Structure 1
Amino acid sequence: MTITATATPGKSLISPTDHTLVLIDFQSQMAFATKSIAAEVLRNNAALISQAAKAFDVPTILTTVAEKSFSGPMFDEIKEAFPGQAMLDRTSMNTWEDAAVIAEINRIGKTRIVFAGLWTSVCIVGPVASAIDQGFDAYFIADACGDISPEAHERAVQRMVQLGAKPMTALQYLLELQRDWARSETYAATTGIARKWGGAYGLGVTYAKTMFGASEGQHG
């Protein structure tokens, strides 16, 4: 059998228009007990994906649990990316069991959903498993999730992968949205986000642009 390659992206790759981003319980009380990832790395990655979603106009749902009575406010890094957007506060640990969140999922109308938040084994596994059960295509940003121990996080990741969810990283999320440096309309936003929140890669972008005036959209 002959297979012919074509210059087209794989169907499993995300695009700015094919998914909803759901950010769950990035709150103080949840972060205090998170030990699988350093707090500063978690905050950085939350900022990175939030800014990426904002830059590419990805429909995004922000949800908290017991914000006023127990868990505290959403991270400033996320609120700054979505100024004025309502936080859908819940009592349920499983976001997918909250009627207001599900109404927003249905209003947006995307069948592919990307999740991130705290904690991986409870507040991410719950909606991921529920979404998959209802026929949605689920992704999760593994390094923008955290849990009370590395063991808890890794077993949750393993469980979601076994269910069919696709793991990603925060920087991967940004770069997969861009995917082609010739897309000039989002080039500046993508490199700007990478420079501020992209770690060593961001330093490399800054170095190349400062020293050589380099541009990723140029052929060598």
Structure 2
Amino acid sequence: MPNDAKSQAGANRLSKENAAVLLVDHQTGLLQMVAEYKNNVLALADVALKFKLPTILTTSAETGPNGPILPEIRAKLPNAPFIPRPGEVNAWDNKDFVKAVKDTGRKKLIIAGIVTDVCVGFPTISALAEGFDVYVVVDASGTLNKDIREAALNRVQTAGAVLISWVSVAAELQRDWRDHGEILAEIYNEHVPEYGNLVTSHTAASKG
């Protein structure tokens, strides 16, 4: 790989020092359409919490049918700035939200939300246009059906977003198991049943 390509690849890596998390419109009403994503959303919130990433929470018209933000998210991140948008569909159209994002001082934005094609797609494209690097967490974002999901992800990827899973976000932030790897293990153990089973088997074998 040429040196300039290597340098660019290294610059694109997420770290605890360069990334911020945006959780957009994970609201109780919207979640009814994509309930299977709840564990992944809470896992991403745990990643933000455990790795101490600046995190911005926002909702849109929460007094209407969209409902309030998931209480579990607020409970995990009680000190995160929370921007209840009065009506803007695109979170990036809300000046308080954009200010909160820019106040983090981070240029790499890890974003997830409901629904993928609107709540994630619109601010992703807007942030990319302003020079941010945006990582869309596909398994912590949901929408109505597979066709819409694929179209939405294709649109943001074409615009320049990186598609990623919450498991990959956590691992990329961790980088080395020897650097307090118990943090990553704790998150995986809670949110990935298969990993929990692996831990149980390893513990049993070690005691045996």
TM-score between the two structures when normalised by the length of structure 2: 0.90
Q: Quote how far apart the aligned CAs of 1:72 are.
A: 1.4
Amino acid at match of 2:48: A
Q: Does 1:108 align with 2:107?
A: no
2:54 touches 2:80 (CA, 8 Å); kept in 1? no
What aligned pairs does 1:1-220 form with structure 2 within 5 A after superposition? 10-34=10-34, 39-40=35-36, 42-90=37-85, 91-184=87-180, 187-212=181-206
Amino acid at match of 2:75: E
Q: Quote how far apart the aligned CAs of 1:105 are.
A: 1.2
* SS in structure 2 of the partner of residue 143 of structure 1: helix
* SS in structure 2 of the partner of residue 83 of structure 1: coil
CA RMSD of aligned residues (A): 2.0
2:83 touches 2:97 (CA, 8 Å); kept in 1? yes
* SS in structure 1 of the partner of residue 190 of structure 2: helix
1:43 touches 1:75 (CA, 8 Å); kept in 2? no
Gap change, CA 1:65 and 1:179, over 3 Å in 2 = same
Paired positions, count: 202
1:24 touches 1:115 (CA, 8 Å); kept in 2? yes
Q: d(CA) in 2 for partners of 1:100 and 1:153?
A: 28
1:46 touches 1:77 (CA, 8 Å); kept in 2? no
* SS in structure 2 of the partner of residue 182 of structure 1: coil
Q: Quote how far apart the aligned CAs of 1:2 are.
A: 8.3
Percent of matched pairs sharing the same residue: 30
Amino acid at match of 1:101: F
* SS in structure 2 of the partner of residue 116 of structure 1: strand
Q: Quote how far apart the aligned CAs of 1:86 are.
A: 4.6
Gaps of 5+ in 1: 214-220
TM-score between the two structures when normalised by the length of structure 1: 0.85
What's the CA shift string for 1:41-63, capped at 9, x where partnerless? x1110111101110110000000
Gaps of 5+ in 2: none
What's the CA shift string for 1:124-168, capped at 9, x where partnerless? 110010011111111110000000111111110011111110011
1:43 touches 1:77 (CA, 8 Å); kept in 2? no
1:66 touches 1:89 (CA, 8 Å); kept in 2? yes
* SS in structure 1 of the partner of residue 10 of structure 2: coil
Q: Relative to structure 2, which stretch is displaced further, 69-78 or 190-199?
A: 69-78
